[in-house]
Structure 1
Amino acid sequence: MYSNAGITSSSAQTVLELDLSGYNSVMAACVKHPTLAMVGKEVKGSIVCTASFMEDYRTENMTDCTMSKHTMLGLVRSANMQLVRRGVCVNCVSPGMVATPLMCDILKISEEELWETMAVVYSGRDEQLMEKHVADAVVFLACEDSAFVTDHNLVVNGGLGTKSIAILKQ
């Protein structure tokens, strides 16, 4: 199972303005519902969740997003402890900045501006981080080749995570 739930907020989401209305449903969608389906049918396998480069950084205006990515790591680790004996491995993938419509919404910029931003983030690399890179990591964690990889956070950022957060602070 692959869990890639996420939301964005229309407001700044500082601690003083924090709106948790969508938070609980997103967190439940990440592990609880796949777990109920797998355990209920005695299915062994993997649950892979999406975290983010955001779990290691702090932001001024994205408290909900940062909080959810920190929470994701804890959720994966707790779920793994509870499920590994049932034959379910739980891992997560933490991508760097990927050019998606969601990222345009988060940064409140156009697709063209996002591609310009991505060129800065991944300067020095032959290519930018694309959805395919993240998907390949997810496929690995979900396949039999990773049957003994569990409780792991696979970072997929080309080594350039700090550049991503610098862009978000601008």
Structure 2
Amino acid sequence: MKMIDYLKPKVKEIGFFSGLDEDLCEKLVEVGNLVTKKKGEYLVIQGRRHSGMSLIISGEVSVKISANGENIKVAKLESGDVVGEMSIIDPKKASATARIVSEEAQLWEISADDFNEFLLADLNEGFEILKELAKMLCKRLRTYNERMLHSMYDERNHYLEQDY
């Protein structure tokens, strides 16, 4: 049995696929590729162009941002999470580095070109896929906003507690 055939019945339960119609999920899965990556392999490198998206089927991925010579861990991603989705929508350089931290990870990957071609083949289906990606990005943005707000209040409170 091909790995993609193994993935088809499970894909409806994984990540942004869960909000899509089952037939649409199966068609989209066919366009991408199932790959296995080893610990330490990079999926995306900050500052470099990236032109694809990876859905984590199994394994863990660490996401870090390099700022002022320091690597700041911003997320730990696992099954159901997506990496590189921003490059599918906006082909600018990557804003973070994503690296496999489990012994290995199974990923479903799709290039930006294949993804865009799939979206344009049926605009209704393309709209549904983009809507699910937008929901995922909104959720992520809300999470990061909340973290930033907590961090600002923690810093402010620390400053106010100083004994001058």
Task: Tell me if both proteins adopt one fold, taking TM over 0.5 as the criterion.
Answer: no
TM-score, normalised via structure 2 length: 0.27
- Higher share in strand: 2
- Higher share in helix: 1
TM-score, normalised via structure 1 length: 0.26
